[in-house]
Every structure is written in structure tokens, then in C-alpha cells.
Amino acid sequence: MAPKAALYLFLLLLSFTSGGNLLMVNGQKTWCVAKPSSDQAALLANINYACSQIDCRILQKGYPCFYPDNLMNHASISMNLYYQAKGRNRWNCDFRNSALIVTTDPSKSLI
């Protein structure tokens, strides 16, 4: 088997054993954010679930991630905290299909 073919086979097998998360293989950083189309009820449920599992103090007033103070931002941060803490698997960023895995740092796009 040619070296290039062996590499592709290895990556394919790794994809299956890692839940399809090839982003971890090539060193690409990933973040979990709320889908812009998510309704307020879903965002609030996501915050409540994520923060019941991980420490969300950084979202409180006076802490670094409080601003911008809106539901979309707080949901994205709590969902990403959960995603990062649980191993950055795609299933840790589903939130009933109200989340996206992105490769661009969302903190760089906040206004």
C-alpha cells in the first residue's frame, strides 16, 4: 500500500473510532456555538443543561464573559464550556440540533 493511501486509511479509521472528529487529528481547534436560528427557549434550556454539568460562573455579572449580555452569547459560551469539558466530541455539541461546531474562534467575532 502506498504511504499516502495508508495515511488516508489511518485517518478514516481514526475518524470512525473518534466519532468522526478529524478536527482533533490535524490540530484544528474547534468551538461549539448556538445556531443563530435557535429560539429563546432552546437557548435557555441549553444554558440550564450545560451549567448543571459544568461551572458557568464566568457568565455572571462582573466576570469576563458576561458581556455582551444576551441569550445567544451566554448560550454559546455555556455550550462551548460543556463541549470543551466533555472532550470536544461532536455529540457534546448537539443540544437537540441547536448548536454548531465551528473552526473560527467565536470570541474574535464578538462585538
Residue 26: the pLDDT is: 58
Q: What is the mean pLDDT of residues 82-91?
A: 95
pLDDT confidence of residue 64: 87
What mean pLDDT comes out for the span 8-29? 45
Distance from C-alpha of 108 to C-alpha of 111, rounded to nearest angstrom: 9
Q: Which long-range contacts (CB under 8 A, 24 or more apart) does 15-22 make?
A: 18/89, 19/89, 19/90, 19/91, 20/90, 21/88, 21/89, 21/90
pLDDT at 27: 74
Average pLDDT, the chain: 81
Helix 71-85 crosses helix 40-53 at what angle (to 10 degrees)? 40
H or E segment and range at residue 73: helix 71-85
Q: pLDDT digits over 27-65, tens only?
A: 789 999 999 999 999 999 999 999 999 999 999 999 989
Contacts of 109 (CB under 8 A, 6+ apart): none
pLDDT for 73 equals: 96
Task: Say whether 37 sits in a helix, a strand or coil.
Answer: coil
Q: At residue 23, does pLDDT exceed 50?
A: no
**Higher model confidence: residue 2 or residue 96?**
96
